[in-house]
Structures are given as structure tokens and as C-alpha cells.
Amino acid sequence: MGLELQDEAFGFGDIFKEPEGFFPPPKPPTFSEHRMLSGDTLNIRLVGSHPLYKKTTRNGLKVKTSSNWGQVPGLPSIICAIMGAKTVVVTDYPDHDLIDNMRINASACEKFIKEQPSPLYVEGYKWGDPTGSICRHLESPSGGFDVLILADVIYNHPQHHSLIDSVKMTLKRSKTSVAFVVFTPYQPWLLEKITAFFPKAEQSGFTVKKIFERVMDKLLFEDDPGEEQLRRTVFGYELRWKAEELDRQILS
């Protein structure tokens, strides 16, 4: 007897069904404007009502190919595409709402992208998985990307090894290739675990260099606990291949 028939047989009916209005309606998406150095303004759609991952993004960067992980709205990738990158792939965890939001932003900003058809692609991706869905957009899928942008992802410290594996599978083996890692310690008491990413990266064939530290004017999550100064600070690092790693093949 199926579950529905059992419910009817024993007289439960809809007793376990939540009444209409039991759950609050989902908050509508909000939008945030980002003004580029060119003067163009991008209207970026955020997931929900909180501007998660909204940070000032410099837009003087010109690259050939790039992939952006994290940063739900996809702003860094959109800017790379507008600035003339040949191929740009923006990724996040393969959740329907996250990926759909990035596709909406990519479509809305397509008018600013001179290269047509658009070089901007959106893909769901789980760290550590095979990278074919990302690299298939490259002219040479086995070659990897010139630039990776890891935006607010290393806070997920249990997944550091999977994240590093994905970087190794997708960053082009070149002296000029770079993975930018940007983060804010929203949970300062986890800072040691978060920054443990960098020695792990060094052990995996990368050099690590701190490139900036910037204190923001406002907190992103004002009611959260922990040291305020750290929660307002954005850190930037870059990963590059060690010399002995350059001749090895990318394994995807």
C-alpha cells in the first residue's frame, strides 16, 4: 500500500501537510549597481535580499580566458567579458537558484559585451569533480585558463583539498597564469582554518603571494559576532605555478 493510500486508510489525510502560508514567502531578489571605470553601470541581480559577495571589483583587467568560482552574482566574470576576454566561464555550486541568477545577470549585461557571440558562459560546478563542463568552452580544453578568480570560497575550509584539486585541473601551466583568491573572514574565529588554504596550496605546487589588504567602510553582516575590524577586511592573494610544475600536464 502506498504512503498516500495508507494515510487515507488510517484517517491521517492532510494532517502532515503544511497549511497555506505556513512558510514565509521567499524574499524577492534585490539589485545592486556597479559603475565601471568606463562609466557604464551594471545592474546586478542578487540572490535574496542580502547583498552577499557584493564587493568593489576593479575593472582594469584584460585577460584571454578566465573562470570565476563563487561570487554568486558573477560580477568579476561579467567585467572580464566586457573588457575583452576571449572566453569567460562563471561557476558556482550547481544549485538551480544560484545558476539561474548568474544566467540572468549574464544575459542582462550582454549589451555591454562587444565580442559576439558572447564569450561569457555559466556552468554549475562542484569542486573536485571532472572539469569538462568548464573547460569545454576553451579553444583548447586541455590547456586551462589564464586566470581563475576564487571569490569568497576558501571560508569553506572542509573543502580546501577539493578546491585546490580543481585549481590544478583548470589553471593553465604557464608562468603568467594566476589564480586570484579574495576573501573576508566573516567568522573571525575560523580565520586560522580559512587561511590554512594557502600552505595547502603551496604543498600542491603553487607559490602564494599576498597582494592586498583593504578595510571596508561598512560591515557586510552587521549583526554577526566576532571582531569587527576583521569582518570589514578584504584580503587578496595570488597563486602561481611553481617552476617545477610548469611542464606537467593538466589532469582533468
Query: Comparing C-alpha atoms, which of 44, 29, 42, 38 is closest to residue 62?
Result: 38
| Average pLDDT, rounded, for the chain | 80
Query: Comparing C-alpha atoms, which of 97, 33, 56, 11 is closest to residue 215?
Result: 56
pTM: 0.75
Question: Largest Cα–Cα distance of the chain, in whole Å?
Answer: 72
Query: Comparing C-alpha atoms, which of 238, 120, 83, 249 is closest to residue 174?
Result: 249
Whether the predicted pLDDT of 63 surpasses 90: no
Mean pLDDT of 231-238: 94
Above pLDDT 90, what percent of the chain?
41
Q: Are 85 and 61 in contact (CB under 8 A)?
A: no
Whether the predicted pLDDT of 236 surpasses 80: yes
Mean pLDDT of 105-112: 84
Mean pLDDT of 64-88: 79
Mean pLDDT of 165-169: 96
Alpha carbon distance 120, 35 (integer Å) = 19
Task: Report the 10 Å Cβ neighbour count for 84.
Answer: 13
**Higher-confidence residue: 180 or 5?**
180
CA dihedral 198, 199, 203, 204 (to 10 degrees): -20
Whether the predicted pLDDT of 12 surpasses 50: no
**Higher-confidence residue: 90 or 48?**
90
Alpha carbon distances (Å) from 151 to 58, 192, 199, 222:
13, 18, 18, 20
The pLDDT confidence band at residue 234, using thresholds 50, 70 and 90, is very high
Task: Report the 10 Å Cβ neighbour count for 156.
Answer: 15
Mean pLDDT of 79-107: 87
**Higher-confidence residue: 9 or 76?**
76
Query: Comparing C-alpha atoms, which of 218, 199, 223, 68 is closest to residue 146?
Result: 68
The answer for 66, left when phi > 0, alpha when psi is -120 to 50, beta otherwise, is beta
Q: Are 218 and 183 in contact (CB under 8 A)?
A: no
**Higher-confidence residue: 133 or 46?**
133
Alpha carbon distance 224, 180 (integer Å) = 27
The pLDDT confidence band at residue 145, using thresholds 50, 70 and 90, is very high
Domains of the chain: 45-245 (3.40.50.150)
**Higher-confidence residue: 11 or 210?**
210
Where is mean pLDDT largest: 17-31, 159-173, 218-232?
Answer: 159-173
Q: For the segment 200-223, what is each residue's pLDDT rounded down to a tens digit? A: 999 999 999 999 999 988 877 777
Mean pLDDT of 73-79: 77
